[in-house]
Amino acid sequence: MAATCVWVRDQLEALVDGELERGCADQVRAHLSACEACREHHTEASSLPARLAAVRVPEPPIGLVRDVLLRVRGDQLSPTRLWAPFIVELVLFMVALWYVSGFGGLYLLIQRTATEAGTVLGWDVGQSDLPPPAAGDLFLLLVCGLLVATTLYHLAQLSRQGLRLS
């Protein structure tokens, strides 16, 4: 199927509903006059509203709106649940940053980690000695553990919200 046909078929619904701009509508009509396959799609799209109008609408059950709204409100995350973890994350990050003496300390920490990772990988291939284990700092580990827990919880909430909005 040609890319023009894909584009035209995307516009068919808007054309039928009369929502397409004039220039765009003329392009679509010009393509329809030349392409039989797209014309069939257009016929289907044109007849669908009429068919749907002919179908009798069943009476909705009593309390449908109330039940749907309750369900939607139950799924919706409050702004507090959505944004509060972000503030906690930033506070924990600032505490960690203060503890390692600012961005210079953070850079040094990452640099040391890169060095250790390089040494361990070098040891794996027999090119260097195994480095001694790094000394753990209980306070920093605690802050980072809390940061991991908070970010994982936050990402779980965000992914739920992100999917709902899509």
Partner 1 sequence: MPLRWGWVGLLSALVIAALLLAWLDSSLLRPLFPEAGPGVRRFEFARPPRTDVRLTPVGRPDLVFRGLGPVGGMFSFWWFVSAAVGVTLMTLAALLALPGRARRAAERVSVGTLPLMFVAGVATLLLGLALTVLLRVGFVLVSLVPFLYGLALVGAVFGVAALALATGRWLRARLGPAPPLVAALAGVLLLLDVSLVPFVGWLVLAVAAVTSLGLSVLTRVGSSAGWGLDELNF
162 is an interface residue for partner 1 by CB under 8 A: yes
Size of the site for partner 1 (CB under 8 A): 53
The candidate with the shortest Cα–Cα distance to 88, out of 157, 26, 29, is 157
7 is an interface residue for partner 1 by CB under 8 A: yes
E strand map for the chain? none
35 is an interface residue for partner 1 by CB under 8 A: no
Handedness of CA 15, 16, 22, 27 (dihedral sign): positive
Contacting residues toward partner 1, per CB under 8 A: 2-4, 6-7, 27, 83, 85-86, 89, 92-93, 96, 106, 109-122, 124, 127-128, 131, 133-134, 136, 140-141, 144-145, 147-148, 151-152, 154-156, 158-159, 161-163, 165-166
